[in-house]
Amino acid sequence: MFHEAMTIIHCTEKLRKEMDLRDSDLVQENKLAGTLFSWHANLLHINRKKCVLFVNDKTRLNFIVPEVSRANIKELDNLFLGMLYPRLAQEGFTEKQRRFIAGDGKPIVFAKTSSKSVLGSINDLADHYTYSILGTGSLHSSEIPAIISRLNRLPISSIKYTLPVDVMRAEVENET
């Protein structure tokens, strides 16, 4: 069953394998592609530790969850929401806006990746995160939130060289 009252996370093949997701576990229909409720996620390895990078399809708002266990990855929906709310708070979104962006308690479903444009952004952001985090010397650095904030203020070509945080703010203000 698929309807617009849910959030969809498009997982790369590498991430799906880590989550033990089969094709039958995935949503096939994709009416949410390119909306605020559509995200892509990728599994990265930084200093041989697993990290998950989330990128919103429409706005390219992004965040990384460093040093994630396989058990946490298997609970990707909880990991996503658990990191999305504080990230949005740090970016100055109101409680109402945070609930709206997170789907306001609606189910989270998984699908295969669906956008080469978003995957291109993920690859660029993965390089930026890797370089920035390695520059701090640790995946436990207190600088990680500042790195996330800085990368959400990096102009991205696929959204006409605007800033992901500004695009998300404008989209949310139009919707709420």
Q: Is residue 49 part of a domain?
A: yes
Domain that includes residue 162, residue range: 7-175
Q: Look at the chain and report how many structural domains it folds into.
A: 1
Q: Is residue 145 part of a domain?
A: yes
Query: pTM to 2 decimals?
Result: 0.93
Query: Would you say residue 16 has pLDDT above 80?
Result: yes
Q: Are strands 62-65 and 49-56 parallel, antiparallel or unpaired?
A: antiparallel
CA distances from 170 to 59, 60, 78, 106, 160 (A): 9, 13, 26, 22, 14
pLDDT of the residue at 41: 98
66, 55, 63, 50: which is closest to 17 by C-alpha? 50
Which CATH number covers residue 88?
Answer: 3.30.420
Which residues pair with residue 63 across a beta bridge? Answer: 54
Q: Is residue 125 part of a domain?
A: yes
Q: Is residue 1 part of a domain?
A: no
DSSP tag of 162 = B
Q: Is residue 38 part of a domain?
A: yes
pLDDT tens-place string over residues 22-67: 999 999 877 776 788 999 999 999 999 999 999 999 999 999 999 9
Q: Is residue 2 part of a domain?
A: no
